[in-house]
C-alpha cells in the first residue's frame, strides 16, 4: 500500500474512477488531475489532512468545486472527521505521508466514515 493511500483500490475501483473522471467536462477533468479518492492529502495553507469527497459542477459558470473530508491536522489534536468541506484551490493539495503506521491507521479509520471506537475504561 502506498503511504499516502488510506486504502488500496481494486482494479474495478480504479477503472470506475477513470470512467467517472473521463465522463466529466474537460474543465472538471483538469481540476481533478492528481486527485484520487483513496489518497490522503495535505492542504499546506491550513495544515488540514484531507480525502476527496466529491465534485460540484456549476454549469452556468462552467466552474467546479472540489469537496473534501477533513480527517486530521498536522499540528493539532483532531477528534472527529468533517465530511464535505469545499477546497478553494485544489492545486494546493499535496499527497500526505503519515509519520507512522499508527497515524495511518487513525486517518484511515476516520476516512472510512466509521464511528470512533469508545475509549477504554480505566
Cell of 100: 507512522
Residue 120 inside a domain? The answer is no
Is residue 1 included in any domain, yes or no? no
The total number of structural domains in the chain stands at: 1
In this predicted structure, the answer to whether residue 21 has a pLDDT above a threshold of 60 is yes
Asked if the model's pLDDT at residue 121 lies above 90, the reply is no
Range of the domain at 108: 11-112
Tell me, yes or no, whether 121 lies in a domain. Answer: no
Burial class (CB in 10 A: 0-12, 13-18, 19+), 13: middle
Q: Is residue 23 part of a domain?
A: yes
pLDDT for 56-103, tens place per residue?
Answer: 887 776 788 899 999 999 988 887 889 999 998 899 999 999 999 999
Residue 117, domain member (yes or no): no
Record the pTM. Answer: 0.85
Residue 40 lies in a domain: yes
Residue 16 lies in a domain: yes
pLDDT, position 116: 63
Q: How far apart are CA 91 and CA 84, in angstroms?
A: 18
Amino acid at each position: 500500500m502506498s503511504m499516502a493511500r488510506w486504502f488500496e483500490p481494486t482494479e474495478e475501483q480504479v477503472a470506475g474512477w477513470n470512467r467517472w473522471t473521463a465522463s466529466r467536462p474537460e474543465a472538471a477533468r483538469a481540476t481533478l488531475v492528481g486527485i484520487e479518492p483513496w489518497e490522503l492529502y495535505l492542504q499546506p495553507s491550513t495544515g488540514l489532512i484531507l480525502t476527496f469527497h466529491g465534485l460540484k459542477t456549476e454549469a452556468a459558470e462552467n466552474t467546479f468545486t472540489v469537496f473534501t473530508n477533513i480527517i486530521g491536522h498536522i499540528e493539532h489534536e483532531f477528534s472527529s472527521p468533517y465530511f464535505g468541506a469545499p477546497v478553494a484551490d485544489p492545486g494546493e493539495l499535496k499527497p500526505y505521508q503519515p509519520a507512522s503506521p499508527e497515524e495511518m491507521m487513525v486517518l484511515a479509520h476516520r476516512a472510512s466514515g466509521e464511528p470512533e471506537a469508545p475509549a477504554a475504561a480505566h
